[in-house]
């Protein structure tokens, strides 16, 4: 395996983008937002085309840190808000603690969002030596205030356990990048480094009193071709993230650490589309968005890049779940995954390194027993079960932000004609489905019959079965293929 190429344990850098949509990176074919630095790493690594996360921030982050599915940590329903007395359970040993046992130096820079109502739940009590960032879900990118609701507002930026007011006025993406680069520069190369870099970008800022889409003007001005102010500002946020990733990689190369590094890049969930949470992200041609169990909510943008991998420059179509990263990275670090005890994650390091056969055949996306809502992927099929009132946000949202604000109104009312379809879908035919391509976009192909995309879908069934390889965009539910679906025999939580 690739890990034998170095005599020391590899440096591990995990970068998490917040609410980054499927169609917000150019290696997935975005014609609006170029991401050359992220693309370069993806093409020279392994693009994960069948990779799944949870539909919201907290569940994904908990699974990443613990190797456990959110239904086994109690974090599967919603997110942690403000001073809510909830967090990733303290009896779970998480990734930085596991890696410290292998001799790693551990640092977190960015968003935590796994509990802060007691100090024991915060990062420096959970295995991280240092923490620069914020505890909650979002905030203003410049003044770092957090607005949860009208009655809950305050400053949320910390250095370790102390409030750090020196951050005021500094753009968070730049601030986090500079701190990450500084950690790399000061690191003793003889010791393995674990750098967890969960950026604030590209989550919206404070809503409604704040400015939800924030980026320095230099980044916004890179995208004059985007006529919508919201999408243009959002593109600036993505560009700042792209430059930040490049700066961290450059620092690793300058210190001669990159050759012994593993870099994982992942989103935490799908993008906030169609103005949801005042966002301007996009998941097209996938259906749905953040906070849904459709592919647009849970099929994540991700790649892994490392000189320690034996085989790179390919697109993996094998099923991968976010909870797989703990046993995988622990294994790559030379640890024995059996030491982790019972986890829901699987060790996929050898599979990735050799472009081998799949090790996972099933993913439970989520199970909400109180709302009778859930989704599961088994082999090529995905079952989506909805509560009677959970059919909203089940549509396809093209990158309509190409238009000016007055034209965009037509889309907010779902008043869409065939001519407009072609305006937004003109580039879909150029996208590739799979392959070993270093220099072409990798996305999903949903066919050329654009009339399949119904923006106002009033015919969503409570039980929906999809064949993902042939229908990754969830165009056609098939409940007739197995009568058991109608009786709920496959989904006992329906009762």
**Cβ(293)–Cβ(384) under 8 Å?**
yes
Q: Which residue has the tokens 């986890």?
A: 343
Residue 259, φ and ψ in degrees, nearest 5: -65, -20
Residues with catalytic function: 57, 113
Taking the C-alpha atoms of residue 179 and residue 94, their distance in angstroms, rounded to an integer, is 23
Taking alpha carbons only, the member of 436, 432, 431 closest to residue 312 is 436
Taking the C-alpha atoms of residue 123 and residue 112, their distance in angstroms, rounded to an integer, is 7
Measured CA distances, 384 to 113, 281, 377 (Å): 27, 23, 9
**Cβ(383)–Cβ(481) under 8 Å?**
no
């Amino acid at each position: 395996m690739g890990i034998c190429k170095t005599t020391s344990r590899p440096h591990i850098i995990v970068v998490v983008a917040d609410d980054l949509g499927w169609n917000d990176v150019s290696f997935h074919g975005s014609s609006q937002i170029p991401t050359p630095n992220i693309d370069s790493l993806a093409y020279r690594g392994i693009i994960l085309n069948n990779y799944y996360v949870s539909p919201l921030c907290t569940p994904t982050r908990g699974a990443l840190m613990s190797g456990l599915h959110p239904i086994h940590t109690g974090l599967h329903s919603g997110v942690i808000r403000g001073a809510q007395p909830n967090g990733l359970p303290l009896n779970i040993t998480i990734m930085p603690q596991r890696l410290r046992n292998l001799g790693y130096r551990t640092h977190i820079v960015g968003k935590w969002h796994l509990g802060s109502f007691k100090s024991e739940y915060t990062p420096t009590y959970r295995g991280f030596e240092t923490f620069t960032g914020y505890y909650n879900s979002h905030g203003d990118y410049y003044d770092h205030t957090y607005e949860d609701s009208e009655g809950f507002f305050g400053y949320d930026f910390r250095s370790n356990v102390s409030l750090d007011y020196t951050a005021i006025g500094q753009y968070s993406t730049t601030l986090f990048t500079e701190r990450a680069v500084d950690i790399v520069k000061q690191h003793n190369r003889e010791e393995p480094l674990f750098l967890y870099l969960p950026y604030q970008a590209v989550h919206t800022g404070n809503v409604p009193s704040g400015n939800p889409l924030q980026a320095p003007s230099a980044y916004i001005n890179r995208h004059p071709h985007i006529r919508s102010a919201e999408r243009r500002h959002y593109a600036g946020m993505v560009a700042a993230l792209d430059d930040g990733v490049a700066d961290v990689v450059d620092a690793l190369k300058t210190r001669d650490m990159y050759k012994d590094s593993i870099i994982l890049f992942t989103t935490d969930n799908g993008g906030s589309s169609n103005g949801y949470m005042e966002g301007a992200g996009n998941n097209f041609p996938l259906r749905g968005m953040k906070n849904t169990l459709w592919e647009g909510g849970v099929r994540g943008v991700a790649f892994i890049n490392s000189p320690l991998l034996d085989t790179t420059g390919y697109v993996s179509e094998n099923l991968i779940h976010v909870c797989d990263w703990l046993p995988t990275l622990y294994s790559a670090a030379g640890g024995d995954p059996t030491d982790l005890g019972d986890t829901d994650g699987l060790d996929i390091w050898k599979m990735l390194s050799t472009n081998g056969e799949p090790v996972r055949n099933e993913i439970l996306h989520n199970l909400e027993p109180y709302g009778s809502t859930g989704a599961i992927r088994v082999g090529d099929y995905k079952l989506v079960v909805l509560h009677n009132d959970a059919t909203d946000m089940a549509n396809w949202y093209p990158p309509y932000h190409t238009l000016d604000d007055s034209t965009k109104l037509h889309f907010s009312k779902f008043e869409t004609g065939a001519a407009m379809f072609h305006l937004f879908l003109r580039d879909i035919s150029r996208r590739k489905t799979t392959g070993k391509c270093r220099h072409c976009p990798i996305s999903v192909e949903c066919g050329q019959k654009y009339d399949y995309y119904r923006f106002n879908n009033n015919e969503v069934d409570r039980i929906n079965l999809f064949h993902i390889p042939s229908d990754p965009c969830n165009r056609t539910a098939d409940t007739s293929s197995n009568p058991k679906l109608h009786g709920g025999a496959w989904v006992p939580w329906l009762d």
